[in-house]
Amino acid sequence: MEMYSPEVMNENILKVRESIAEAAREAGRDPSEITLIGVSKFFPAEYAKQAYLLGLKDLGENRPEEMHDKKAVLDEEDIHPNWHLIGTIQSRKVRLIVGEPYLIHSVDTLSLAKEIEKRSAAKDIVSRVLLEVNVSGEESKHGFSEEELEASLPELLSLSHISLGGLMTMAPIQSREGEARAVFEKTRDLFERVKDMGVDRTCWKDLSMGMSQDYKDAIICGSTYVRIGTAIFGKRDYNYV
């Protein structure tokens, strides 16, 4: 895989940041409310390092093993981004990541939450998580349905080693611009409903919505985390990992 030059990557980051700021202004929001996560999945650790040195302090990975390994490489160089785990997590791999990510975005079942609780309790830590929801009902997507989330919430709130920070979702691939907005609006509405169902409001404040193709709509709908890979790092080589 050919390494991006710092100049190209820096230009990409600046373009994305400006687009985020423009979308925020359009929505009447302060751009500082939105955190850009550079999704470095399937790229070598050198890419993650370069992005961090260019000022991108939040990096996202889909797979626990890849995040664990990249974190180890960057730790050796005393480089410590905020790591976000954004992909599906198998319960047996929770042991690899509890205590490592700044935020786990993809808690998509009650059983996974309980496993994170168990592993966090063993380390005497509190893990910050978002609950992944599937408001579009797509079979290919992971996450709680609206009904499942509301039914599971009392038990989720009883887990003392998990801090519930908000919701995460993925919209369907758009066939036309703006198509994802309905999913983001439904997720925002669910986020607001859950706010009145006993969660700690000082923690319940984040919506992780939007990727390279739809993050502007996500920001207009209230996203606080956007997960951008291709627009920063370029086309992925899926044979890398």
- Report the alpha-carbon distance of residue 203 to residue 128 in Å, rounded: 9
Q: Which residues contact 239 (CB under 8 A, 6 or more apart)?
A: none
Q: pLDDT tens digits for 132-186?
A: 999 877 766 789 999 999 999 999 999 999 999 999 999 877 656 667 899 999 9
Q: What is the mean pLDDT of the chain?
A: 92
DSSP 144: B
Nearest to 125 by CA among 159, 154, 152: 159
Domain 6-233 has CATH 3.40.50.720: no
195-213 pLDDT per residue, tens: 999 999 999 999 999 998 8
Residue 16's alpha-carbon distances to 30, 93, 173, 227, in angstroms, are 16, 32, 19, 11
| Structure confidence at residue 214 as a pLDDT band (50, 70, 90) | very high
Residues 6+ apart with CB under 8 A from 37: 58, 59, 60, 84, 86, 225, 226, 227, 228
pTM for the whole thing? 0.93
Cα 105 from Cα 60, distance rounded (Å): 10
Q: Which phi-psi region, left, alpha or beta, contains residue 96 (left: φ > 0; alpha: ψ -120 to 50)?
A: alpha
The pLDDT of residue 4 is above 70? no
Domain range summary for the chain, segments of one domain joined by +: 6-233
